[in-house]
Chains A and B, each alone.
Chain A
Amino acid sequence: MRPFEYVKPKDSKEALRAKTPTGAYIAGGTNLVDLLKKNIAVPHQVLDVTQALSDKITLKRSGIEMGAMVRNTTAAINPTILEQFPLVSKAILAGASPQIRNMASIGGNLLQRTRCPYFYDTSLPCNKRAPGSGCGAYNGENRMSAVIGYSADCVAVHPSDLCVALAALDATVVVQDAQGKKRSILFKDFHRLPESAPQQDNTLPEGALIREVYIPKNAFHKHSAYVKIRDRDSYAFALVSVAAALQLDGNRIVAARLASGGVAHKPWRWLAAEQFLAGKETNATVFAEAAALAVQDVRPLAHNAFKVDMLKGAIETALQEALQA
């Protein structure tokens, strides 16, 4: 770990002002401390934002607001979230371990880096860590890598479970830039595809803070499900995961939301399948057709063709579970 100065700003204004170009914010530290130890993150200054940012969950007329410092466990067991936004809780509890969820913040969860093994091994090439060095995984070991939306420059996946739920629920991210200006970014625009700049995970402006995550109230919360498939039953990142949410009118689907983790550089929305489901009846054939439609666009790499069938099954199961929820 390289030496750094530790500062603890009192509020967001002070944090934004104190941050130097080589500074890094720290919240739960579950990702940053790991990256510091491996010299992948080498800030000269670490800004502890645990006091500067809100840890409150606030129910508003049109939705719910989670402060960036709300811990993952706190959100997952919050009575209002459990009752009105259960998909959020299901996704959080499918990730990491109780200890890590106690520490991890909502803001940090959105900004965690990929778990691609080449990214973590500084002796190997990786465009995300060392731009221009090449992508080790593209022609190397890519069992855990993306199956859609990747480029030859990076095939990494975003590791978060929470973000898959937030993508499905049309959340927005409230950010505050270095000049102090606040604005909202739609969740679908928050994370990026790698294209030719995989070092950039998201569209958060340089030096900006995440202040809140906002989830609108809509008709998708009642019938929702999160299915995660991984190498072991708990405490492992997703091979594939699916968040499904249905707006129902009797046994007819008014509208559907389908998102996946473990498949792309960002939480992936299956828009064609969502459109197909709208207006259809709820039955196994329809669900299977939607899943088939989704995987049509998938292009697996050398070692992850297994993800195609796995994904199809996970989508069908998630839709079925959402229906029964």
Chain B
Amino acid sequence: MPAFILSRILQAIPVLLVVGFISFAMFAFVGDPVTAMLGQDYTEAQRIALVHKLGLDQPFFVQYAKFMWAAAQGEFGLSYRLARPVSGLILERLPATVELAMTSATLALLIGVPMGVYTGIRRNSFASRAFMVFSLLGVSLPTFLIGILLILVFAVLLGWLPSFGRGEVVHFSHWSTGFFTVSGLKALILPAVTLGLFQMTLIMRLVRSEMLEVLRSDYIKFARARGLSQRAINFGHALKNTLVPVITIVGLQLGGLIGFSIVTETVFQWPGMGLLLVQSIQVADIPVMSAYLLLISVVFMGINLVVDLLYYAVDPRLRMTRRVSANAP
């Protein structure tokens, strides 16, 4: 098992190098940080001094190596826009995005999986049909539209929930959390629903179709022929088998939550990394953009690793090495 994890981490290194190269290439070829930082009036000497200070006069690969070395230590230099270290900016925004994504993911899983199981087992019930219609809305309406509709209903018309911001937060050293204040929790609801709705309905539909597929399989028919109770069949056999393919897609979807949070954070002015990215893109704040890109790829790889480990836990066929001798005829 540790060997497995180690090999996955080693496999991730080339990917990170490539993503790092793309991030770095943005530095090298997009925009002109020097003019951006100097403003309108500057002397040639000032310009050369800044170019030297930023290391832009060094050879390309030296710059790349330096960039990667610094990135590995969490150093992405100064934000062009705010002239503050990028790492600090991101750390400041990270908790908001993580809490939002986690809440959405939890909602999506806790509601999506049971609904998928239910609609799979009770295919023809009224509730199942209602869920399916509802899920169609969830997968087809764009995120920003859902956000705006929710704001319209719950913030503007009903006035129950705030339409923007994060409410009051509590600080634990570097981490700021909205989980412990009423206003923080209230502010979380609409963005979390907006962000999670798509994933939730997707998970539900996925679990449902996998469940239907599994319920048609021979081993479920045989379980019936063995006289097992409906409950034992559905939850002891069908659900477990349903989870194997569902895990991958759900893993990727949850990674996508962080990506999708850009739209949601913009709609709700949620002070997370997505909003930071949008603000940075508007002024071509390359260091922030490349740091974001690298961070997201690390997050995706982390999720992939967790997905693989889950597979490992659920599917004995992957644990082959454990007992090879048992394979004798």
Q: Do A and B bind each other?
A: no
Which residues of A approach B to under 8 Å, CB–CB? none
Give residues in B with beta carbon < 8 Å to A: none
